Chains A and B, each alone.
Chain A
Amino acid sequence: MISRTAPARGIREALLHGKRRPRTPGGSPTSRRGDGYEFVELREYVPGDDVRRIDWAASARSGDLQTRVILEDVALTLAAILDDSPSMQVGRRRPMLAAGREALRAWYDVAAADDRCVRIVGDAMHPSGAQRGPVSAAAAMRASGTFDLGRALHVARSALRPGAALLAIGDWFDLAAAQDGLLHALGRRCDCTALLARDPWFDDLPLFGLVRMRGAEGGMLRAYVGARERAAYARAVRAREAGLLARFAAAGWRTSLLYENDGAASLAAAFGLHARGIARS
């Protein structure tokens, strides 16, 4: 028996609900291949269910249409991409990556015993075997390697089965406009969620006068920053956030900002769940 927090239950329900509904309005039910067709239970027919899953004998006995629920319908594939590059190592009180890891942990906390947790790192998914449940979640959390956003998105598109749930966490500085097609393809194929790491100084740049900045990925900058520059910075950060969220949303992704102080709540917010404790000025 796995005890699960309320947000985790809500996220799981949202993901399962997302799997059951047709992915195109008025279109045919999603056809996807699972790991197998192990019978789990019978339930009432829900519009959108694959008619091939209707158990006609059981329907005749009960008088209502009954759908055969197989393992694929109740087991999730929880995939994740976490940008752990140096640009995520910055933050006001702690690195944004810490919040990202919290969100990732909350994501894998959604997993039930039959769910499969994978993480896309480098050119591969980890763990590579058929591990399921918390074992696969722990292995996915431990996975490490060099982060490359473009490669990760390509791997996700080619390796994830249709209907899988994908969570992508990052600051998306290296998300090129040319990758929008990839985002759209993933959005059609999987149930995708994007968390955009919020700039730690989105509300006020803590600089004045002669300042020195170090790039998380190298480089140094000496400059004079006054009121004009601070105002321009605030505008640019908000415009960038709005632009990125709009791109993901247009590609069919669920989106939210990743707040430095609470990664798990940021993930819950993406699913429209109560997100206590997020600093959202």
Chain B
Amino acid sequence: MTLAHPLRFAVALVVAALLALLYGRLGRGKTANDLAYSNLAFFVAAVKPRLWVPRALQVAWIIALVSLALALGGLHVTAPVPVRDGAVFICIDTSGSMAAGDVAPTRAAAALAAARAFIDESAPGTRIGLISFSSGASMVQALSSDHAAVDAALAAIPPPNGATAIGDALRLAASALPPIGHRLIVLITDGVNNTGVDPQQVAEWLGTQHIPVYTVGIGTANGGAIPGSSDEATIDEDALQSYARVSGGAYARAQNATELHDALARLGRVTAFERKPVDASAGLAATGIVLLIATFLAGFGTGRLV
């Protein structure tokens, strides 16, 4: 929370405090509207009047004054707001290990289905691009707000084959993202970086540019056999967590197709909102005025009748 005009706020607070003091002093004085009664203890015990109502109105009155003071002070709060200029690159691993069947039907097919869920959950207007990487990285779909087109482009993702160049994919995504706005990268991979540039360095640089990398690791704990090879598909979770941490993103592990689908769907919703400083003055001023009118009207026409 920050105040654009702290001096105005301080003055408004002092004025509000003086008003409250004056109100309290006037409230203690006798008025013609007061009813003098023989024994208040008897009245309270017999009638059980609603004592909370005037207390609630007093609290509302104080909230109204503080709201108006904060409005005059130009209060800004950091709050989640809908993203209007979001840009996301989904980087999908197409290395040979993605052919493993430990995540049904295969890791590659599950990744594509999850990417589709991500696209479906993304906020309308969010620009989404696709990058596939194995021994190198290639742009499958440039940033586009036409989610149907991006969805269709998933069909162009090549089949699993080759090494794993995570750093290259991150660098390509970074170069294709706009220089400002709400930007992020979703990295779906099952393997260990074994070629290309160092992804740790790229992730650190992305962190300085406020581009978070959300990493999703695919694969069961036991790993999976790579078809046509004697190698076992493994996963470097520590590295994936590190890329996410240094860039300001988050890591998720998916050991089956459902977990993968849910993780990507959650990330899709992340693109819908971003935390930004918001000017709360108008809302506070409206709240204060409404409460002041409400507290005034609550006491209007009531009191002693004769």
Inter-subunit contact B49/A210 (CB<8 Å):
no
B300 closest partner in A (C-beta): A209
Q: Which of B39, B53, B55, B301 contacts A173 (CB 8 A)?
A: B39
Inter-subunit contact B49/A225 (CB<8 Å):
yes
Q: Which of A215, A216, A221 contacts B49 (CB 8 A)?
A: A221
Q: Considering the complex, which residues of chain B in the window 137-152 have a beta carbon less than 8 Å from any beta carbon of chain A? A: none
A209 closest partner in B (C-beta): B302
Please indicate the chain B residues that have their CB under 8 angstroms from the CB of A216 in the complex: 36-39
Inter-subunit contact B298/A210 (CB<8 Å):
yes
**Chain A proximity mask over B35-68: 1 for CB below 8 Å, otherwise 0:** 1111110111011111101110100000000000
**Chain A proximity mask over B15-42: 1 for CB below 8 Å, otherwise 0:** 0000000000000101101111111101
Assess A229 versus B49: contact at CB under 8 Å? Given A210-B57, A221-B43. Answer: yes
Q: Considering the complex, which residues of chain A in the window 152-204 have a beta carbon less than 8 Å from any beta carbon of chain B? A: 171, 173, 199
Inter-subunit contact A173/B304 (CB<8 Å):
no
Inter-subunit contact A210/B303 (CB<8 Å):
yes
Q: Which of A29-37, A232-240, A270-278 contacts B (4 or more CB under 8 A)?
A: A232-240
Please indicate the chain A residues that have their CB under 8 angstroms from the CB of B28 in the complex: 220
DSSP majority for the A interface? mixed
Assess A232 versus B298: contact at CB under 8 Å? Given A173-B39, A211-B303, A216-B38. Answer: no
Inter-subunit contact A215/B305 (CB<8 Å):
no
Inter-subunit contact A173/B42 (CB<8 Å):
yes
Inter-subunit contact A207/B304 (CB<8 Å):
yes
Assess A212 versus B298: contact at CB under 8 Å? Given A87-B39, A223-B49, A225-B47. Answer: no
Please indicate the chain B residues that have their CB under 8 angstroms from the CB of A225 in the complex: 47, 49-50
Please indicate the chain A residues that have their CB under 8 angstroms from the CB of B30 in the complex: 214
Inter-subunit contact B304/A223 (CB<8 Å):
no
Q: At the interface, yes or no: B155 with Cβ under 8 Å from chain A?
A: no
The docked-state distance in angstroms from the alpha carbon of A20 to that of B5 is: 91
Assess A221 versus B302: contact at CB under 8 Å? Given A212-B31, A212-B34. Answer: no
**Chain A proximity mask over B219-238: 1 for CB below 8 Å, otherwise 0:** 00000000000000000000
Q: At the interface, yes or no: A25 with Cβ under 8 Å from chain B?
A: no
Q: At the interface, yes or no: A222 with Cβ under 8 Å from chain B?
A: yes
Chain A min CB distance to B125 (Å): 50
Inter-subunit contact A223/B50 (CB<8 Å):
yes
Q: Considering the complex, which residues of chain A in the window 233-262 have a beta carbon less than 8 Å from any beta carbon of chain B? A: 233, 236-237, 240
Inter-subunit contact B39/A213 (CB<8 Å):
no
Q: Which of B39, B48, B53, B299 contacts A217 (CB 8 A)?
A: B39
Inter-subunit contact A229/B50 (CB<8 Å):
yes
The docked-state distance in angstroms from the alpha carbon of A229 to that of B47 is: 5
Please indicate the chain B residues that have their CB under 8 angstroms from the CB of A89 in the complex: 36
B39 closest partner in A (C-beta): A173
B52 closest partner in A (C-beta): A224
Chain A min CB distance to B300 (Å): 9
Q: At the interface, yes or no: A125 with Cβ under 8 Å from chain B?
A: no
Please indicate the chain B residues that have their CB under 8 angstroms from the CB of A221 in the complex: 40, 43-44, 49, 51
Assess A210 versus B53: contact at CB under 8 Å? Given A171-B38, A215-B37. Answer: yes
Interface residue ranges, B against A (CB under 8 Å): 28, 30-31, 33-40, 42-44, 46-51, 53-55, 57, 298-299, 301-306
Instruction: Supply 17 further A-B pairs (C-beta < 8 A) apart from A212-B35, A223-B49.
Output: A89-B36, A173-B38, A209-B303, A210-B299, A211-B304, A214-B34, A214-B36, A216-B37, A221-B43, A221-B49, A222-B54, A224-B49, A224-B53, A225-B47, A233-B43, A233-B46, A236-B42
Interface residue ranges, A against B (CB under 8 Å): 87-90, 96, 171, 173, 199, 206-217, 219-226, 229, 232-233, 236-237, 240
26 sample A-B contacts, Cβ–Cβ < 8 Å, listed by A number: A87-B39, A90-B37, A90-B38, A171-B39, A173-B38, A207-B305, A209-B299, A209-B302, A211-B302, A211-B303, A212-B31, A212-B303, A213-B34, A214-B37, A215-B37, A216-B37, A217-B39, A221-B43, A221-B51, A223-B50, A226-B50, A229-B48, A229-B50, A233-B43, A233-B47, A240-B42
**Cβ-closest 3 pairs across A and B:** A209-B302, A236-B46, A223-B49
